[in-house]
Amino acid sequence: MPIYALGDVEPDIHPDAFVHPDATVIGNVVIGSESTIWAQTVLRGDYGEIRIGARTSIQDGSVVHTTRELPTIVGDDCVVGHLAHLECCVVEDGSLVGSNSVVLHRAIVRSGALVAASAFVPNGMEIPARAIAMGVPAKLKLDAVDPAFIAALAKGYVENGRRYKTELRRLDQPFT
Residue 6 per-residue DSSP state? B
Identify any residues that bridge with 96 across adjacent strands, giving them in sequence order. 79, 114
Q: In angstroms, rounded to a whole number, what is the distance separating the alpha carbons of residues 89 and 24?
A: 20
Confidence tier at 173 by pLDDT (50, 70, 90): confident
Tell me the pLDDT tens digit for each residue of 21-46. Answer: 999 999 999 999 999 999 999 999 99
- What are the two backbone dihedrals, phi and then psi, of residue 104, each rounded to the nearest 5 degrees? -110, -170
How far apart are the C-alpha atoms of 63 and 72, rounded to whole Å? Answer: 11
Instruction: Please determine, for residue 2, whether its predicted confidence score (pLDDT) is greater than 90.
Output: no
Domains of the chain, first to last: 3-164 (2.160.10.10)
Task: Render pLDDT for 78-109 as a digit per residue (tens, 0 to 9).
Answer: 999 999 999 999 999 999 999 999 999 999 99
Confidence check: pLDDT of 61 > 80: yes
Which is higher by pLDDT, 171 or 78?
78
Whole-number pLDDT of residue 172? 83
In percent, the amount of the chain with pLDDT more than 90 equals: 95
| Contact assessment for residue 83 and residue 62, using Cβ atoms and an 8 Å cutoff | yes
Handedness of CA 52, 55, 56, 58 (dihedral sign): positive
pLDDT score recorded for residue 1 = 63
Scored b (16 or more CB within 10 A) or e, 8-25 reads eeebebeebbbbbeebbb
Print burial letters for 29-41: b (CB count within 10 Å at least 16), e (below 16): bbbbebbbbbeeb
8 A C-beta contact, residue 81 and residue 99: yes
